[in-house]
């Protein structure tokens, strides 16, 4: 579910996991166009957090490891928080917020990370903003947290980029923060993954 569910499934199965009235493809043709906008899910992770709760109560003698997600399956993500987080995140990544200053985007991403602290991508965008501002400590904090979350999940929340791409980007962000170095000019961003010879 965490690997494959994104906004396309949200549109196909509104109200999941509850019952929903079947909708005709002909009437809902826009929702049917795969893969849709590839927006992160607005409902699946809160469902997954409820499904994972019993895993934290498994007897140790059973030898079933507890996944590291959702604070080792002890936390529940509220559906309203999940929806708020994806809405704020999507506004930030689609530049739907004022772009005269990075402040509205930073505030939206900070709020997204508060609403859903179990996903990496808002943290990685916060790291990028911190790097651009020369706030190396904040950048390292966000990049490190994002990389740890990606490692916990083994799957991307924002499916527009593969998990391996997000991991590589998180490592670049963390290395840049630790080196206290970030390009000042836009073309410099394109070469961040290059290995110096």
Q: What is the CATH number of the domain that holds 34?
A: 1.25.40
Residue 15 within any structural domain of the chain? yes
Number of H helices, E strands in the chain: 9, 0
Q: How confident is the model at residue 197 (pLDDT cuts 50, 70, 90)?
A: low
Q: For 65-89, write each residue's pLDDT tens digit.
A: 899 999 999 999 999 999 999 999 9
17 prior amide bond cis, ω within 30: yes
Residue 148 within any structural domain of the chain? yes
CA 33/CA 8 separation, integer angstroms: 8
pLDDT of the residue at 88: 97
**DSSP H or E stretch at residue 177:** helix 163-179
How many domains are contained in the chain?
1
Residue 196 within any structural domain of the chain? no
Residue 2 within any structural domain of the chain? no
pLDDT of the residue at 9: 77
Question: What's the mean pLDDT when you consider all of the chain?
Answer: 90
Q: For 115-138, write each residue's pLDDT tens digit.
A: 999 999 999 999 999 999 999 999
Residue 61 within any structural domain of the chain? yes
Residue 180 within any structural domain of the chain? yes
Residue 1 within any structural domain of the chain? no
As a whole number, mean pLDDT of residues 99-106 equals 94
Q: For 126-177, write each residue's pLDDT tens digit.
A: 999 999 999 999 999 999 999 999 999 999 999 999 999 999 999 999 999 9
CA 151/CA 124 separation, integer angstroms: 13
SS3 195: coil
Supply the DSSP symbol for 56.
G
- State the residue range of the domain holding 52: 7-191
Over 70: is that where the pLDDT of 196 sits?
Answer: no
Cα dihedral sign for 156, 159, 164, 167? negative
pTM of the model: 0.88
Q: Which residues contact 112 (CB under 8 A, 6 or more apart)?
A: 84, 85, 86, 88, 89, 92, 122
């Amino acid at each position: 579910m965490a690997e494959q569910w994104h906004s396309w499934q949200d549109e196909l199965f509104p109200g999941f996991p509850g019952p929903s009235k079947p909708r005709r493809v002909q009437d809902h043709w826009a929702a049917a166009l795969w893969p849709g906008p590839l927006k992160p899910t607005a409902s699946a992770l809160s469902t997954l957090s409820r499904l994972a709760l019993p895993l934290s109560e498994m007897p140790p003698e059973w030898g079933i490891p507890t996944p590291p997600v959702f604070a080792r399956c002890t936390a529940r993500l509220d559906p309203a928080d999940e929806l708020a987080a994806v809405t704020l995140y999507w506004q930030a990544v689609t530049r739907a917020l004022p772009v005269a200053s990075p402040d509205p985007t930073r505030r939206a991403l900070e709020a997204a990370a508060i609403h859903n602290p179990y996903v990496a991508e808002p943290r990685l965008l916060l790291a990028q903003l911190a790097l651009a501002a020369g706030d190396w400590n904040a950048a390292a904090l966000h990049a490190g947290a994002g990389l740890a979350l990606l490692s916990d999940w083994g799957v991307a929340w924002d499916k527009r980029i593969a998990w391996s791409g997000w991991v590589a980007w998180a490592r670049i962000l963390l290395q840049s923060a630790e080196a206290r170095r970030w390009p000042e000019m836009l073309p410099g961003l394109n070469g961040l993954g290059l290995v110096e010879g």
